Amino acid sequence: MSTAVILAAGHGTRMRSRLPKAAHPIAFEPMLRRLIRACEAVFPRIVVVIGPDMPMLAAMAAPHAVVVQSERLGTAHAALAAAEHFGDGDVAILYADNPLIRPQTLARLRAARETAGLAMLAMRPPEPGRYGRVVLGAEGTVSRIVEYADATDAERAIPLCNAGVFCAAGPALRGWLGAVPRAPSGEFYLTDIVPLAGRAVAIEAPWQELRGINTRGELAEAEAEVQAGLREAAMAAGVTLIGPETVFLAADTRFGTDVTIGPHVVVGPGVTIGDGVTIRAFSHLEACAIGPDAIIGPFARLRPGTRVGTGAHVGNFVELKATSLGPGAKANHLAYLGDAEIGAGANIGAGTITCNYDGITKHRTVVGADAFIGSNATLVAPVSIGHGAFVAAGSTITDDAPEQSLVFGRARQVTKTGVAAKLRQFLAERARGRDDR
């Protein structure tokens, strides 16, 4: 059985963050999870090496095996910490801060390993900078990897750079890692297995795919690149993006056909969008499902657990949380619906809110099909509004409303004729008295 070992023990000091580097997200997905997803398509077994103080990464790695590197003594030392999981098949060593590697590239790496003791990934970045250089020998095989600090001017001029990913047979790799000499820094470096391997080959892939992410700036560059790919894939699948560069998608966003998305829309993780849906500008969606031909926004927010039915409308400044909006239902402006079930064809008036939280527990509101909720209604959960019921504007509803009922829950209006002028005079005199003080 082949194995992928992902090294994720680095703190990521240059990120200036309390989060482990591998936990920083790209397209709303932590770098570690993104790389695991690529490895799952090629390697039956995955092992993640983390530091002793990284429970967050251990949770992200689940259900895969996790090994703790108790001392940070270099990359070879980290890989050796997972040696008990190598088995007899091929083993690939990867870094969690190289999260853009595609499954196709990993498959090429495994295939190349069949013709050599060691296969590695290499790239030609436009600015090689301080990457280690790959020195090729006879027949294009890898002679050695020279670190930038140790390279001559001629070696620094080599455009082929080490991406840090290696693949070898498990038993051989275990032996090489145990034989890596300790560097003057006191650490053991993975690149030192190359001279021990005999025949090594380099597989080239685009530098954008193999780039490492060590700073917030590099993270932003990777985000821009991934977003560009997600937008292109969405448009190729039949989605219209009116302002593509302003739309942000998640890695797991699922679209139907003939979807239209306006500018400045953010689609977070766990979102499914059905055929013919229109999402208007400045809307924010996460962990929700939108049925066919629904209209969302502008300026709408759909939070986790929300389901919008076929042809339903969610208008401007409407927020839905853990709410089911039935087919054809409408909440067109200025409403909050939380922990609610809204029936088919129901109308939610402007300013309506569900009071779903009593300070301790969340409660549900049920609005029946074809019910009409007037503007500025307050529905105090738990409460149920029956099929076809009519709730008068400005009502506070605390008791269930039967089907087809008309419900008022507001104070009685009091009108005093001719008093307005006297009231204004009184207020003006009181204001002058304050000014005289």
pLDDT digits (tens, 9 = 90+) for 283-327: 999 999 999 999 999 999 999 999 999 999 999 999 999 999 999
Top pLDDT among 139 and 373 is at: 373
The reported pLDDT for the residue numbered 435 is: 62
Q: Which two tokens stand for residue 165?
A: 């990913």
| Domain end (from 152, 187, 210) | 210
Long-range contacts of 269-276 (CB under 8 A, 24+ apart): 269/28, 269/29, 270/304, 274/310
pLDDT for residue 433 is more than 90: no
Q: What is the mean pLDDT of residues 224-239?
A: 96
pLDDT for residue 436 is more than 80: no
Domain holding 237: CATH number? 2.160.10.10
Using alpha carbons only, give the angle 67, 69, 70 rounded to the nearest 5 degrees.
125
Number of separate domains in the chain: 2
Q: Is residue 169 domain-shared with residue 251, that is, in the same domain?
A: no
Query: With a threshold of 0.85, does the pTM exceed it?
Result: yes
Cα–Cα distance measured from residue 109 to residue 10, given in angstroms and rounded to the nearest whole number: 24
Q: Is residue 198 domain-shared with residue 287, that is, in the same domain?
A: no
Backbone φ and ψ for 278, nearest 5 degrees, come out as -115, 125
Q: What is the mean pLDDT of residues 82-109?
A: 95
Q: Is residue 206 domain-shared with residue 229, that is, in the same domain?
A: no
Question: CA–CA distance from 70 to each of 54, 126, 176, 425 (Å)?
Answer: 11, 37, 21, 80
Does some domain include residue 69? yes
The reported pLDDT for the residue numbered 138 is: 75
The reported pLDDT for the residue numbered 199 is: 87
Q: Is residue 154 domain-shared with residue 225, that is, in the same domain?
A: no
Q: Is residue 283 domain-shared with residue 144, that is, in the same domain?
A: no
The reported pLDDT for the residue numbered 186 is: 85
Q: What is the mean pLDDT of residues 95-119?
A: 94
If you average pLDDT over every residue of the chain, what do you get? 93
Question: CA–CA distance from 381 to each of 139, 346, 400 (Å)?
Answer: 75, 18, 10
Q: Is residue 235 domain-shared with residue 173, that is, in the same domain?
A: no
The reported pLDDT for the residue numbered 234 is: 97
Q: Is residue 198 domain-shared with residue 261, that is, in the same domain?
A: no
Q: Is residue 273 domain-shared with residue 172, that is, in the same domain?
A: no
| Domain end (from 210, 229, 244) | 210
pLDDT for residue 434 is more than 80: no
Q: Is residue 42 domain-shared with residue 156, that is, in the same domain?
A: yes
Q: Which two tokens stand for residue 417?
A: 């004729």
Domain holding 94: CATH number? 3.90.550.10
Q: Which two tokens stand for residue 407?
A: 């419900």
pLDDT for residue 141 is more than 70: yes
Top pLDDT among 114 and 352 is at: 352
Q: Is residue 246 domain-shared with residue 362, that is, in the same domain?
A: yes
Does some domain include residue 435? no
Give the CA count within 13 Å in the CB-facing half-sphere of 99: 30
Does some domain include residue 434? no
Q: Which domain holds residue 375?
A: 216-407
Residue of 24, 77, 284, 333 with catalytic role: 333
The reported pLDDT for the residue numbered 18 is: 87
Clarify whether 333 is annotated catalytic. Answer: yes
For the chain, the straight-line distance linking the first and the last C-alpha, in angstroms and rounded, comes to 89
Does some domain include residue 416? no
Does some domain include residue 289? yes
pLDDT for residue 426 is more than 80: yes
Does some domain include residue 251? yes
Q: Which two tokens stand for residue 153?
A: 């001017």
| Domain end (from 210, 230, 261) | 210
